[in-house]
Amino acid sequence: MTAYLNHLGLVSPLGNHYSDTITALLTGQRQLKPASELLINRPAWIGEVAGPLPNLPTEVSQFHSRNNQLLYAASLQIDAEIRQLIARFGTHRIAIVLGSSTSGIAESEMAIAAQQRGEAPQSGYSYQRHEMADPARFLAALYQLDGPAYVISTACSSSARALIAARRLLQMNLVDAVLCGGVDSLCQLTLNGFAALESVSSQPCNPFRAGRDGINIGEAAALFVMSREAAPVALVGCGASSDAYHISAPHPDGLGASAAMQAALLNANLTAQQIDYLNLHGTATKLNDAMESRAVADTFGEYLPPASSTKALTGHTLGAAGALEAAFCWLLLQKKLNPTGRLPVQTGDGDFDPSLAQLNWPQTGLTYHPKTAMSNSFAFGGNNVSLIFQTMSTV
């Protein structure tokens, strides 16, 4: 069974509309800025969604959090399509599967700070907002859906796993459509937590460059409608592994990463030579980029597909990263959205690290017209996911 990605709502540091996003993606516009001292007490750069976010409708205002506002902004872009699905299939045949790692933690941080100052928390605050399932509960309440609704939280592979789970629900005929993707918002916990691990860069991040020294953290929401209804782009392959090498460091040989890529190729019934673009996990940490470049070389051999990490533009959006980068692939694969057939170059400063396994970086101005794209998402604990998307010529 083919799982089609019919519609997409997308909010990220690159923009709040397809045209803004694809332009920024293909021209290498870094939407990173210095972090506020309210988020972190040391120099750091972040990818923040610009502009005001929509207020939640009154009937679901109890779900207020920045995380849910991001998700709501994405859902508004495909609201008409979602309501058409409800009218067609009924509320019990539509599922919600999301990935997140922060949920509404930022609101709890503010409530705790208010308590420490001897003040009452913001009116309407509930600790339930930072529970991981809250984004799914919010979306279910917003659309009055009765189907399965849950959130997967496996750190940086969360929303990539959500897409795998959505596809499985369709394959098992438990539902007719799935609202799937991911959402994560900026908060003190993740920024300071990664800083404590000495993983945060004090400058715009530089994936695969010799001078790379850590990540930038970002926020985003990407919400797909996935169904059996034919669409221009489909999720044709999924691969996952868990090498459990270390709680935070990747396996140095990239064994789990390579296993996930190979499993995705097998699941899609494709060869490595059929991948036209590889969206790298590419966090810009010393260990991740070394591991991933080796895993890509081991998986693809002499053929190296054009590959780049878009985290240099958005920052690492953590639980939303898998869905966000799947969204980038979705945009790149459609001729009407990417008529020139270009690919994102590897934005960054300085020379590429000569000690890393060589990769094939897309070149500015060249046309590639990709038809098949792979996207990697690797997480703490050795939780690895690789997804393959393909244009459907019959649609």
Residues annotated as catalytic (active site), given as ranges: 156, 281, 316
Give DSSP secondary structure letters for 29-65.
----EEPPTTT-SS--EEE---SPPPPPPGGGGGG--
Half-sphere exposure of 114 (CA within 13 A, CB side): 12
Cα 284 to Cα 177: distance, rounded to the nearest angstrom: 36
What is the DSSP-derived secondary structure letter of residue 204? S
Cα 273 to Cα 269: distance, rounded to the nearest angstrom: 12
Question: Of the candidates 211, 221, 204, which has an alpha carbon nearest to the alpha carbon of residue 312?
Answer: 204
Strand blocks (E) in 167-244: 177-184, 217-218, 220-227, 233-242
Q: b or e along 319-345 (b: 16 or more beta carbons within 10 Å of the residue's beta carbon)? A: bbbbbbbbbbbbbbbbeeebeeebbbb
3-state SS, residue 2 = coil
Name the β-bridge partners of 374: 278, 388
Cα 258 to Cα 204: distance, rounded to the nearest angstrom: 28
Cα 266 from chain centre? 23
